[in-house]
A = this chain, B = another copy of it.
Amino acid sequence: MSSIPLKHFKKGSPKPDLPEDGVWRLFTMAFCPFVQRVRLVLDAKQIAYHKIFIDLIEKPEWYKEYSPLGKVPALQLTNLKDQPTLIESLVIAQFLDEQYPEPKLFPTDPLQNAQDKILIERFAPVVSALYPVLTCNPNAPQDALQNFEKALNVFEQELISRGTPYFGGEKIGIVDYMIWPWFERIPSLKYTTEQKYELDAKRFGQLLKWRNLVAQDEAVKQSAQDPQVHAKFQLSKLEGKPNYDIAFNN
């Protein structure tokens, strides 16, 4: 939908001409799970947006104009006065849900809304525990995978206790989208770990059923990348040359 070059802008890259068409701008990195959270919400609500890809290791000098902390995701609301830019995936998600209530993703009940946000916060230990494994860190502790499974177990139990196909209930909701990006990446461990790691079908039975279901969601399909591509990206990072643009060659 745009003429912005399909590459990750880096230090020294001249600033591209960004279309002044009032369409929002999402500053992204093709493999960032936190950006994917925002894409899932934008896509679920069928909101149009331009994507501007940023090399997070060597950031282009002009990126500070858009995101003073240099963070992605950053969503620029080009149709509003002063074209403000929002950061923080969960803050952006909640803003989008208020502005575009169809489909409603956050619970309308304030208690359930608070409990879902707490559950999303409780995913942070899973993210931290998964990180050294996912990034093929050679110094990852021996028990890194066990730590990850222990953290993940909270979500297996929560899904059993909710007794619904999605964390959001009978329909996909905000918890599902906010945790999904990491579940898309877990199958890459089959290609990057010595033991060809996969989630245990017994221990994580509900989560695996949930994963198959969520993978069919239209918004999820729009930003989906193959586990082998995730694996290739992680391996390129390990070699000290993160190949961001590999996202476009598949």
Contacts and interface: CB of A to CB of B under 8 A. Distances in A.
Contacts of A86: 114-115, 118
Interface stretch (A32-40, A52-60, A88-96, A227-235): A88-96
Nearest to A114: B95
A87 interface: yes
A80 interface: yes
A118 B85 CA distance: 10
Interface size range of chain A in the complex: 20 to 34
A195 interface: no
Q: How many chain copies does the complex carry? A: 2
A217 interface: no
A111 interface: yes
Contacts of A69: 122
A46 interface: no
Interface in A194-219: none
Given A91-B117, A91-B121, A117-B91, A84 B111 contact: yes
Contact of A118 (B91, B110, B118): B91
Contacts of A84: 111, 115
B88 A118 contact: yes
A69 B121 CA distance: 12
Contacts of A95: 110-111, 113-114
A186 to B, nearest CB: 23
17 contacts: A69-B122, A77-B111, A84-B111, A84-B115, A86-B115, A86-B118, A87-B118, A91-B118, A94-B114, A94-B117, A95-B110, A95-B111, A95-B113, A95-B114, A98-B110, A98-B113, A99-B110
